[in-house]
Structure 1
Amino acid sequence: MSTVSPPDTWAYALRLPHDPRAARVARMTVRAALTGHGKGELLDAVELLASELVTNAYLHTDGPASLRLTALADGRLRVGGRDSQPQVPVPLRTPLGAEGGRGLRLVQEYADAWGGWTWGEGALGRSAGKLLWFEVGGKGAG
């Protein structure tokens, strides 16, 4: 049995090593994917926010991260960033002048929707990591 996807849906997955250059690689990948699919109007916001997710993964974990871009049938773009740090941050708890947390405030400001959850089970029954995601675009957005 085969499934049929609408022609305007697609997905890219990128695995990133724990490397300070990972955010740059993510930005280049986002730029190539969105430009290639005619989604240039989303490029600035997605490039910035995806870079923030990958940068946070590098700064707050010792392991690899992954980034997934998914174009949904209604025109929205969903971006998910996964890493091995199990704590889902709460951006609103970060004071405006604080050194950390500004990247997630950008996600709140520029994304139409966003969220996160823990996944898997690691040592001692703790979560093995988290997924943070955001969506931009779609009908009525802009």
Structure 2
Amino acid sequence: MRDAGPTRRAVLGTVTAATIAVTVAGCDDGGGGSDQGRRKAGIDDAARERAYATTGALLAGYEAAAARNAALAEPLRPLSAELRAHLAAFAGRGTPSAPPAVPGPAEPAVAGGALADRAQQVSDERLIGLADVSPELARRLASTAACLAGHAQLIRSAP
């Protein structure tokens, strides 16, 4: 019988997609002129703020689900720690505070499924527009997207 965890194919697919995205984003030279440099910096700031806000909202969701569901508390603890590290990686000047969590379902299986779906959605959104940001930020976005895809798989396989 197969373990309910993520398959090698799912993990490999996520890592491959993130690697391709980083490679494509790394091909951009970052622009030449000062106007283009300022534009690129503005795009980076906006992408960083979006990543910070969505990560904060996801963390608030994890913490709210863990508080409501004892069965989810232990599996979500290390994932929440990773999200805190993501917040630190995206923190910058003028970073907005994370929005409060919206109450979710009380049943652990339903709450876990909703969290897994949201983590996967955030992962997918994070891969959009990597070619528009600096290579450094593209790598950070792609690596956190891969991590979030892993979160989705781990939450789905939690008992």
TM-score by length of 2: 0.32
- Give the structure with the larger strand fraction: 1
TM-score by length of 1: 0.35
Bigger radius of gyration, 1 or 2? 2
